[in-house]
């Protein structure tokens, strides 16, 4: 069992400080007591699922993720998927593990979601149509000369997913240029280039 730290409260000691997040043009105080962090990249997200099998099929068929062998020490029902430098860990929902309530029908870009950068939005939209997945399409930032195309849809449990070409939008750090750490190849886990099941191309 892991340890649960309760000392700082749900949001840490900074959660209740008012006026901490300021206008990006005047954000110097935001970084005053923040040391350089040893983080490298997003490793994985975890989802509670009504059906792990249905979610595996969705993420493989709709988004091209690859099923990965899980460590034997994980003795609960679930599945690991990986691709594009990020993992998706699926856990079977039961009475002890209840997923948060979501609206499976409404497509609201303001809802909680994960987003994948895409190099061919047309191909992705065709794939959603082929799979008869309901989606919302929109383009923003056109007036600024850097249009961003977005597709929003939901997985079998109603969690929102966005596909976008967000690389069209230039990121402008707010007073913290030296703090940006862009992902490097070294953050990727070692991959055993031998296929252990399925119809992969491993040798």
Residues 55-76 have pLDDT tens digits of 999 999 999 999 999 999 999 9
- Catalytic residue, from 142, 162, 167, 170: name it: 162
Per the annotation, the verdict on 125 as an active-site residue is no
> Percentage of the chain surpassing pLDDT 90?
46
pLDDT category at 90 given cuts 50, 70, 90 is very high
pLDDT category at 196 given cuts 50, 70, 90 is low
Q: Are 90 and 52 in contact (CB under 8 A)?
A: yes
Q: Please give the residue that has the higher pLDDT: either 185 or 72.
A: 72
* Helix runs in the chain, H state only: 52-63, 121-130
> Per-residue pLDDT averaged across 95-109, rounded?
71
Q: Is 49 helix (H, G, I), strand (E, B) or coil?
A: strand
């Amino acid at each position: 069992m892991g340890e649960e730290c309760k000392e700082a409260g749900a949001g840490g000691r900074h959660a209740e400080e008012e006026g901490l997040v300021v206008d990006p043009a005047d954000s110097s105080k935001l970084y005053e007591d923040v040391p350089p962090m040893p983080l490298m990249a997003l490793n994985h997200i975890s989802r509670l699922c009504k059906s792990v099998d249905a979610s595996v099929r969705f993420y493989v068929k709709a988004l091209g993720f690859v099923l990965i062998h899980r460590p034997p020490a994980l003795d609960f029902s679930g599945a690991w998927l990986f691709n594009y430098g990020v993992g998706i860990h699926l856990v079977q929902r039961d009475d002890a593990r209840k997923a948060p309530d979501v609206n499976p029908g409404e497509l609201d870009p303001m809802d909680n979601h994960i987003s994948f950068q895409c190099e061919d939005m047309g191909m992705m939209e065709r794939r959603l149509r082929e799979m008869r997945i309901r989606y919302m399409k929109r383009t923003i930032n056109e007036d600024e000369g850097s249009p961003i195309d977005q597709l929003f849809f939901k997985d079998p449990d109603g969690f929102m997913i966005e596909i976008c070409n967000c690389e069209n939008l230039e990121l402008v750090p707010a007073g913290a240029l030296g703090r940006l750490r862009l992902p490097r190849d070294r953050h990727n886990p070692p991959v055993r280039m031998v296929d252990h099941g399925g119809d992969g191309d491993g040798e």
